Amino acid sequence: MPSKKKIPVRLEDLTPDEKVKYEIAGELGLLDRVMKDGWKSLTSKETGRIGGLITKKKRQNDKNDKNITNVN
């Protein structure tokens, strides 16, 4: 079975959600591995950690947005 061609990731072209995912991977020290070998190179524990932090960040942003609208 032929392998898939690896297309380099352009961080400028990512959606906001994807940017957050890459940002968190960088914070956890996993970005180099993701850029080199892709997301499949991460363990389920590492992937779950990223997902948990994404959820936490989204909740904080939603809470901050709600507080801003309540102040106005």
Summarised one tens digit per residue, pLDDT across range 20-70 is 999 999 999 999 999 999 999 999 999 999 999 999 999 998 888 888 777
Compute the residue count for the chain.
72
18/72: higher pLDDT: 18
Query: Band of the pLDDT at 11, cuts 50, 70, 90?
Result: confident
Q: Could you identify the residue written with the tokens 């590492």?
A: 46
The token pair that represents 13 in the structure block: 């072209």
Give the Cα separation of 10 and 38 in Å (integer): 13
Residue partners of 58: CB distance under 8 A and separation at least 6: 20
Q: State yes or no: pLDDT of 72 exceeds 80.
A: no
For residues 41 and 33, the answer to whether their CB atoms sit within 8 Å is yes
Provide the residue ranges of all domains of the chain, joining segments of one domain with +: 15-71
The token pair that represents 64 in the structure block: 């901050």
Q: State yes or no: pLDDT of 9 exceeds 80.
A: no
Amino acid making up residue 71 = V
Q: State yes or no: pLDDT of 5 exceeds 90.
A: no
